[in-house]
Chain A
Amino acid sequence: MTEEPLPEHGRVPGEEYVKEGRTPHPGLRPLARWREFAARHGLTVIALLIVSIFVVFALIPHYLAPHPPNRLDVASRLQGPSAQYWLGTDNLGRDLLSRVIHGTRGVLVTSGTAALLGVIWGSLVGLISGYIGGWMDEVIMRVVDALLSLPSILLALLLLARLGPSRVSIVLGIAIVYTPGVARVVRSAVLAIKNSEFIYAARLRGESTLYVLLQEILPNIWSPIVVEASVRTSYAILLTASFGFLGLGVQEPEPDWGLMVSRARDYIQVSPWMALVPVIAISLLVVSLSVAADGLRERIAGTALDTTSV
């Protein structure tokens, strides 16, 4: 009836044509793949470049700034850009460019640490609250709701007022303020997979809660956590700079961007440069970070989710 033997039943089904994990363009080299990514996400790449320039500022300000940040030159105060002072001077004749470069480290370290702490605490709370559930979840979520119902800057101000204004208080204040928001996001990610059948399978093997949380759940919610971290960092910069502007936690002559704007406030009719330079620095950094975070989120989630809550 047939010239060839029938395929054996019970053999490995489709062994020879099941492909190893499918990648869209398996042939592309890493460099080419990067180039393709850059072409598709041009804006994200530019944003990442700008962010890395600021990171370099923060790492080696002394090599890059043309002047010491606090050197006074009263003779040439409130000037516009010139050959000597590329971006002009402030009311005490200090070089604005140098002050901005020197101020980068403070902003990045403060907000980065705050965001990192907030994300770590929030993830812990969210994991536990989401997985354990029950009355504990109920209580935690009520507290989270209460904290989230206050404007974040208000809560941070309260904490700062009591902790006494310092860099450390700012970091702690922002971290505490962001903890409930992160907790909510992580909790909902946990809830989405908590009733997955692979979690049931682990429970049926008698795995401990810790094992389930760390080995089964955590690997599956990395993406929202990473996205949270990147978004929170850019909001933390916003808050840090705002505190500087309010004169909390930083003091003259520290080259803090927010503080610089606050000082420039009184001279805004006389010399716009003094306000413009730090404002442009903040804008560049924050917008670049946001765009990069949005690109990251799009890449991870496949869509730009709009669930930003601050």
Chain B
Amino acid sequence: MIPSWARFALRRFGLMFLTLFLVTLAIFGIVSAMPADAAQFMLGQHATEEALAVLRARMGLDLPAHIRYVRWLGDAVRGDLGWSPYLGGEITPVLAVRIRNSLFMGALGFLVSMPIAILLGVLAGVLAGGFVDRLISITSLAGLSLPEFVSAVGLTLILSTWLGWLPPSSLMAADAYPWQNLNRLILPALTVTLAILAYVARMTRGSVIDVMNQPYIRTARLKGLPERVVIFKHALRNALLPTITVIFNSMGWLMGGLVIVETFFAYPGVARLLLAGVERNDLPLLQATTLVIAVITLSANFMADVAYAFLNPKVRL
């Protein structure tokens, strides 16, 4: 007999593919199927007829949209993300390196921020209404609503301009191994960290407050258990369950933040490639990068749901 969490995971897996399908439709629809002539759009007003014709043939623009969609999808599944004028070559190998770079920085940010975020959230939730809570709440609210480039400026000024501890830019060869340039990574990783830290801390706080008001916490207290046991055994187990979902879901947030952070620090990640696609009107590049980022966030959401189902006894048995 398949355990019920696994059956849930299977169903959720199917749902993820449905969502992914809709996402690819949206991406393709926005990028490729809009009325303007894509070749003209990419090459600009002054392109020669020959150049346009070459590009059209190269991208298969003379085919109907639905056939192009199916081809694009089929190629993508096989790992071929197409050809980019800006890169002047196949997208897949370049993108792979960029993804590695971005994920490395994201992981660095995650590892630093998550323990702190959960700690702060739990602290604020348990001490709800007190001074510590207000401090944490307001700071995290601020952290949550500030654009990443604001915290980037702040951190650069403090750690680089004034203290001189770190280089202000993360410029490096795209195919260099980021872990060999760790000191160039700290500033961007910290910046990315701040926003998701605030987000996860706030969500954790809310969930802790919610659980602390449940009748079963009163039951535990009236059993005569010490407050420490009430909080750590009875409250946190239930309060951190939704936090797991939040952590995985903040992956999307992280990818969004990367767009700004990589630009600010000139870090060779996937988001910069995406922006290059936007700036150079490179449609295949745009499609490819968006698709990859969507796949990453969707799988994070999927893992969030499965982890939740696995840890929640209501789904587990």
On whether the beta carbons of A146 and B145 are closer than 8 Å, the reply is: no
On whether the beta carbons of B31 and A235 are closer than 8 Å, the reply is: no
Is B298 close to A, CB under 8 A?
Answer: yes
On whether the beta carbons of A246 and B263 are closer than 8 Å, the reply is: yes
On whether the beta carbons of A146 and B297 are closer than 8 Å, the reply is: no
Q: Beta-carbon contacts of B136-169 to A below 8 Å, as 1s and 0s?
A: 0110011011111110011011001100000010
Q: A158 is contacted by which of B260, B264, B290 (Cβ under 8 Å)?
A: B290
Q: Which of A79-87, A91-99, A209-217, A285-293 contacts B (4 or more CB under 8 A)?
A: A285-293
Contacts of B30 in A (CB 8 A): 158-159, 162
Whole-angstrom CA separation of A304 from B146 in the bound complex: 20
Residue of A whose beta carbon sits closest to that of B23: A146
On whether the beta carbons of A283 and B150 are closer than 8 Å, the reply is: yes
Q: Which of A11-19, A30-38, A149-157 contacts B (4 or more CB under 8 A)?
A: A149-157
Give A106 Cβ to nearest chain B Cβ, in Å.
Answer: 15
On whether the beta carbons of A245 and B263 are closer than 8 Å, the reply is: yes
| Given known contacts A238-B146, A268-B153, A161 and B278 CB-to-CB distance under 8 angstroms | yes
On whether the beta carbons of A147 and B145 are closer than 8 Å, the reply is: no
| Given known contacts A238-B146, A283-B142, A149 and B23 CB-to-CB distance under 8 angstroms | yes
Q: A161 is contacted by which of B18, B31, B263 (Cβ under 8 Å)?
A: B31
Whole-angstrom CA separation of A258 from B298 in the bound complex: 30
Is B259 close to A, CB under 8 A?
Answer: yes
On whether the beta carbons of A275 and B19 are closer than 8 Å, the reply is: no
Whole-angstrom CA separation of A157 from B294 in the bound complex: 13
Interface size of B in residues (CB-CB distance below 8 Å)? 53
Q: B253 is contacted by which of A146, A151, A262 (Cβ under 8 Å)?
A: A151
On whether the beta carbons of A162 and B145 are closer than 8 Å, the reply is: no
On whether the beta carbons of B168 and A308 are closer than 8 Å, the reply is: no
Interface size of A in residues (CB-CB distance below 8 Å)? 50
Contacts of B23 in A (CB 8 A): 146, 149-150
Contacts of B207 in A (CB 8 A): 306
Contacts of B253 in A (CB 8 A): 151, 310
On whether the beta carbons of A154 and B157 are closer than 8 Å, the reply is: no
On whether the beta carbons of A308 and B31 are closer than 8 Å, the reply is: no
Q: Beta-carbon contacts of A228-269 to B below 8 Å, as 1s and 0s?
A: 000000110010011001101000000000100110110011
On whether the beta carbons of A154 and B293 are closer than 8 Å, the reply is: yes
On whether the beta carbons of A241 and B27 are closer than 8 Å, the reply is: no
Whole-angstrom CA separation of A42 from B259 in the bound complex: 36
Residue of B whose beta carbon sits closest to that of A269: B161
On whether the beta carbons of B27 and A158 are closer than 8 Å, the reply is: yes
Whole-angstrom CA separation of A242 from B160 in the bound complex: 22
Give B30 Cβ to nearest chain A Cβ, in Å.
Answer: 5
Residue of A whose beta carbon sits closest to that of B252: A151
| Given known contacts A151-B253, A162-B30, A287 and B294 CB-to-CB distance under 8 angstroms | no
On whether the beta carbons of B19 and A269 are closer than 8 Å, the reply is: no
Residue of B whose beta carbon sits closest to that of A151: B256
Whole-angstrom CA separation of A162 from B277 in the bound complex: 11
On whether the beta carbons of A162 and B264 are closer than 8 Å, the reply is: no
| Given known contacts A162-B30, A275-B153, A154 and B256 CB-to-CB distance under 8 angstroms | yes
Whole-angstrom CA separation of A82 from B93 in the bound complex: 52
Give B280 Cβ to nearest chain A Cβ, in Å.
Answer: 10
On whether the beta carbons of B275 and A246 are closer than 8 Å, the reply is: yes
Contacts of A73 in B (CB 8 A): none
Q: Which of B50-58, B198-206, B227-235 contacts A (4 or more CB under 8 A)?
A: B198-206
Whole-angstrom CA separation of A306 from B206 in the bound complex: 6
Give A6 Cβ to nearest chain B Cβ, in Å.
Answer: 44
Whole-angstrom CA separation of A246 from B19 in the bound complex: 29
Is A145 close to B, CB under 8 A?
Answer: yes
Is B112 close to A, CB under 8 A?
Answer: no
Is A142 close to B, CB under 8 A?
Answer: yes
| Given known contacts A142-B19, A158-B290, A246-B259, A235 and B202 CB-to-CB distance under 8 angstroms | no
Q: Which of A182-229 contact B (CB under 8 A)?
A: none
Contacts of B141 in A (CB 8 A): 287, 290-291, 294
Is A124 close to B, CB under 8 A?
Answer: no
Q: Which of B259-317 contact A (CB under 8 A)?
A: 259-260, 263-264, 274-275, 277-278, 281, 286, 290, 293-294, 297-298, 301
On whether the beta carbons of B154 and A308 are closer than 8 Å, the reply is: no
On whether the beta carbons of B149 and A143 are closer than 8 Å, the reply is: no
On whether the beta carbons of A258 and B149 are closer than 8 Å, the reply is: yes
On whether the beta carbons of B297 and A149 are closer than 8 Å, the reply is: yes
| Given known contacts A154-B290, A158-B27, A238 and B145 CB-to-CB distance under 8 angstroms | yes
Residue of B whose beta carbon sits closest to that of A287: B142
Interface centre among B145, B153, B252, by most chain A C-beta atoms within 10 angstroms, is B145
Whole-angstrom CA separation of A298 from B147 in the bound complex: 24
Is A64 close to B, CB under 8 A?
Answer: no
Is A109 close to B, CB under 8 A?
Answer: no
List 18 A-B pairs, Cβ < 8 Å. A142-B22, A143-B22, A149-B252, A149-B294, A151-B253, A151-B259, A153-B260, A154-B259, A154-B274, A158-B27, A161-B286, A241-B149, A242-B259, A246-B275, A258-B149, A279-B154, A283-B142, A308-B202
**List of 3 A-B pairs having minimum Cβ-Cβ separation, nearest first:** A306-B206, A151-B256, A146-B22
Q: What residues of chain B have their CB less than 8 Å away from a CB belonging to chain A? A: 18-19, 22-23, 26-27, 30-31, 34, 137-138, 141-142, 144-150, 153-154, 156-157, 160-161, 168, 199, 202-203, 205-207, 252-253, 255-256, 259-260, 263-264, 274-275, 277-278, 281, 286, 290, 293-294, 297-298, 301
